[in-house]
Amino acid sequence: MTAVADALEMERVESHLHPEGSFEVDDHAVPTGREEIWRFTPLKRLRGLHTDAVLDGSAVDAAYDAPEGVAIEQIDRGDLRLGSSGFVPTDRIAARVWHEAGRRFAVTIPADAELDRPVVVTLTGTELEPATATHAVITAGRHSRATVVLRFVGSATLADNVEMVVGDGAELTVVSIDDWADDAVHVGHRHAQVGRDAHFKHVDVTFGGTVVRHDTTAEYAGPGGEVEMLGLYFADAGQHIEHRLFVDHTAPQTKSHVTYKGALQGEGAHTVWIGNVLIRKVAEGIETYEENRNLVLTDGCQADSVPNLEIETGEIKGAGHASATGRFDDEQLFYLRSRGIAEDEARRLVVHGFFNDLIRRIDVPELEEQLAVTVEKELARNLLAEAAR
Amino acid sequence: MSTPSTDSGRRLEIQDLHVTVKTDHEDKEILKGVTLTINAGETHAIMGPNGSGKSTLAYSIAGHPKYTVTSGSVTLDGQDVLAMTVDQRARAGLFLAMQYPVEVPGVSVSNFLRTAKTALDGEAPKLRTWVKDVNTALEQLNLDPTFGTRSVNEGFSGGEKKRHEIAQLELLNPKFAVLDETDSGLDIDALKIVAEGVNRFRGQDGKGVLLITHYTRILRYIEPDFVHVFVAGRVAESGGSELAEELEAHGYDKYVKAASV
Ligand SMILES: Nc1ncnc2c1ncn2[C@@H]1O[C@H](COP(=O)(O)OP(=O)(O)OP(=O)(O)O)[C@@H](O)[C@H]1O
Ligand SMILES: [Mg+2]
């Protein structure tokens, strides 16, 4: 390989999966639903986020709770932290948020800090209209260790961008929990830049809302970085939950591991999981694995699951993906019931079992109980619905 | 038949049971009139060639949804078993040790056992004695205590799965147990351990056992009161343990031929 070719390779090449972004709203045509990136999304239910809905709502309250040493600031449009993750909007909604966000804030964890409890940002929606847009930048300084929890509750129409900058050698866990009321619409874009030898864990828990679509993307600022993306979702009747992931292996010796698990129940429950991984030519010696599993609990649900792996170098340690969507396993239910366990209890055990290893991997003790309660709540709905059949 | 007769003593009674399984193009009859009575305190062995319907019988008693009972009856202490759901049957006192125990990912053995015990008793077991009981049951089947934290049957070896079934038998302590080839895939030491577990179970008052097997070797450790030869979906011959010796010596040929004419 010549030096020139090498240098060219360092340029951002265009992935066929991911067009180059742009900050200009007008560079992004209003989607029609035929575009690859929009074909699964019920545009009509986005309340105009993708067209021209006014985004200046203030119907989302923010509450911040952070251990000492962590700075949480409201920031202005011109603040240099905006865009510092390398984030460039790849669709119209993200570009609109960039320009029109009514709230911009930064969470900064200083270098070498080791937080003894998570930073918790709770965004509470109080009204569906007008829509609201927020832009957040979370920066974990070099060699810091921190967990940041973003919780979304209440009713709102929200478009948000979240940038995450993980400094060299830092360990950052960001947990996003969509625990919205049934009528919320949330389109989120999250982008992480992972420093040299840094470890970034993104946990995306989506339960509530009527339409939730999250684009979660990561790139590497240096070699040795690790990305772990975990997702847990539960779609009920009529609910659309969509996750679009893109891990861009832009540096050698980096790792990514993606596991998303979801359960679906009720008429019209729809989940979409798109897992894109691009291994660039420079990204030698990398390892990647992505996995999506769906458990379909009732008739009338649809789970779309599309893993995509683009490999531009053969010099890698490993790359793989898996995707499986299955119904309740009758043999498992029979086995449990043959021991006297009633059907609804047996179903609960199987679903808990399905999510269990994932919940364990989230590994944020403060959240474990809350997550277990939320799964329980979702299951209670299912069981009530089942009993009514 | 529904009138409780004076002799509705403790027994599992199978009367002229016909069972079909759905195949791609038809309902295929597998059990063709099985009649068998196991009184409390008795151990019956069923022996028969591959595919003769032994597991079908076991699953039908337990209520597996794959099988459809087209006629006949199964009663336990006079109660209509076929009218019960799978879990009701277990709560009525039936237990099936499966030929192929099912893996349940993410559900720990200890959670599973506690949930089952709670369902059977209608109340949660007392924590302190329960933990001890579980550890003892596992230990007696030569399963170390770490099995409690593992997912049910996941990654268990064939023999471990079988021993886990018998540990459950002892902990859940039903009235009647159907053991479907619990002996196959066990080495001689494991076979003895499993047999000891079954013997502890049936050493209690009034327990019934239906033991399905291909091999007489387990019958040396668990001595049956009756042996039945099962061929082509029904009981072809019944006798004492001498029948097992005869089968060992001469095989099923004679019965298979008789059944196919
Ligand atoms: N879904 C099915 N479709 C067609 N045939 C089936 C189906 N399920 C079971 N059978 C058949 O029913 C018959 C009885 O099976 P069963 O498992 O009860 O036999 P078995 O006596 O337990 O055999 P083994 O000794 O091998 O355990 C077999 O011929 C089997 O192929
Ligand atoms: Mg069998």
What is the tens place of the pLDDT at every residue in B33-56? 999 999 999 999 999 999 999 999
What are φ and ψ of residue B116, in 5° steps? Answer: -65, -45
Whether residue A130 is preceded by a cis peptide bond, meaning omega within 30 degrees of 0, is yes
- A234 membership: H or E segment, kind and range: strand A226-235
Note which residues in 302-341 of chain A have CB less than 8 A from chain B.
Answer: 329-332, 334-341
Q: How many CB pairs under 8 A join A and B?
A: 86
- pLDDT tops 80 at residue B57: yes
Question: Would you call A18 an interface residue with chain B, using a CB distance cutoff of 8 Å?
Answer: no
- pLDDT tops 80 at residue A383: no
What is the tens place of the pLDDT at every residue in A331-366? 999 999 999 999 989 998 999 899 988 988 998 988
B167: Cβ contacts below 8 Å, ≥ 6 apart: B137, B138, B140, B141, B143, B197
Helix, strand, coil share of chain A (percent; to 5): 20, 40, 40
Closest-approach residue (CA) in chain B for A335 = B102
Mean pLDDT of chain A: 91
Q: What is the predicted pLDDT for the residue at A360? A: 86
Calpha distance B175→B169 (Å, rounded): 10
Q: What is the predicted pLDDT for the residue at A14? A: 55
Note which residues in 349-368 of chain A have CB less than 8 A from chain B.
Answer: 349-350, 352-357
Q: What is the predicted pLDDT for the residue at B154? A: 96
Q: What is the predicted pLDDT for the residue at A19? A: 67
Question: Would you call B151 an interface residue with chain A, using a CB distance cutoff of 8 Å?
Answer: yes
Cα atoms in the Cβ-side hemisphere of radius 13 Å centred on B178 = 29
Residues, chain B: 261
CATH 3.40.50.300 fits B11-260, yes or no: yes
What is the tens place of the pLDDT at every residue in A37-55? 999 999 999 999 999 999 9
Task: Provide the shortest C-alpha distance from residue A65 to chain B (in Å).
Answer: 33
- pLDDT tops 80 at residue A207: yes
Q: Cα of B51 to ligand 1 centre, how many Å?
A: 5
Q: State the sign of the Cα–Cα–Cα–Cα dihedral B176, B181, B186, B189.
A: positive
Distance, CA of B39 to chain centre: 15
Closest-approach residue (CA) in chain A for B113 = A339
Q: Please, what's the b/e burial string for A272-306 (b: 16 or more CB within 10 A of its CB; e: otherwise)?
A: bbbbbbbbbbbbbebbbbbbbbbbbbbeebbbbbe
Amino acid, single-letter form, for residue A126: T
Best residue among B17, B19, B56, B57 to mutate for probing ligand 1's pocket (most ligand atoms within 8 Å of CB) is B56
Closest-approach residue (CA) in chain A for B121 = A340
Helix (H/G/I), strand (E/B), else coil: A54? coil
Decide if A141 contacts A112 (C-beta within 8 A).
Answer: yes
Task: Give residue B240's region: left, alpha or beta (phi > 0; psi -120 to 50).
Answer: beta
- pLDDT tops 90 at residue A107: yes
Task: Provide the shortest C-alpha distance from residue B165 to chain A (in Å).
Answer: 11
Domain ranges (residues) in chain B: 11-260
Decide if B211 contacts B99 (C-beta within 8 A).
Answer: no
Q: Which residue has the higher pLDDT, A360 or A222?
A: A222
Mean pLDDT of chain B: 93
What is the tens place of the pLDDT at every residue in A109-137? 999 999 999 999 999 999 998 999 999 99
- pLDDT tops 90 at residue A15: no
Check pocket membership of B26 for ligand 1, CB cut-off 6 A: no
Question: Would you call B120 an interface residue with chain A, using a CB distance cutoff of 8 Å?
Answer: yes
In B102-191, the DSSP E strands lie at 104-108, 151-152, 176-180
Calpha distance B99→B227 (Å, rounded): 19
**Considering only CB atoms, which chain B residues are within 8 Å of A341?**
87, 90, 115-116, 119
Q: Could you report the predicted ipTM of this complex, rounded to two decimals?
A: 0.95
The share of chain A scoring above pLDDT 90, in percent, equals: 81
What is the tens place of the pLDDT at every residue in B85-97? 999 999 999 999 9
For chain A, the farthest-separated pair of C-alpha atoms sits apart, in whole angstroms, at: 70
Check pocket membership of B213 for ligand 1, CB cut-off 6 A: no
Helix, strand, coil share of chain B (percent; to 5): 40, 30, 30
Q: Cα of B68 to ligand 1 centre, how many Å?
A: 14
pTM for this model (two decimals) = 0.85
The share of chain B scoring above pLDDT 90, in percent, equals: 85
Helix (H/G/I), strand (E/B), else coil: A136? strand
- pLDDT tops 70 at residue A284: yes
What is the tens place of the pLDDT at every residue in B167-208? 999 999 999 999 999 999 899 999 999 999 999 999 999 999
Question: Would you call B91 an interface residue with chain A, using a CB distance cutoff of 8 Å?
Answer: yes
Q: What is the predicted pLDDT for the residue at A378? A: 81
What are φ and ψ of residue A384, in 5° steps? Answer: -65, -45
- pLDDT tops 70 at residue A239: yes
What is the tens place of the pLDDT at every residue in A55-71? 987 778 999 999 999 99
- Single out the residue of A292, A229, A282 nearest to residue A254, CA to CA: A282
Q: Say which of B66, B90, B107 has its CB closest to residue A349.
A: B107
- pLDDT tops 80 at residue A16: no
Mark yes or no for CB contact B104/A354 under 8 Å: no
Q: What is the predicted pLDDT for the residue at A373? A: 82
Least confident range from A239-253, A318-332, B4-18, B44-58: namely B4-18
Calpha distance B33→B235 (Å, rounded): 8
Decide if A61 contacts A124 (C-beta within 8 A).
Answer: yes
Note which residues in 277-296 of chain A have CB less than 8 A from chain B.
Answer: none
Q: What is the predicted pLDDT for the residue at A38? A: 95
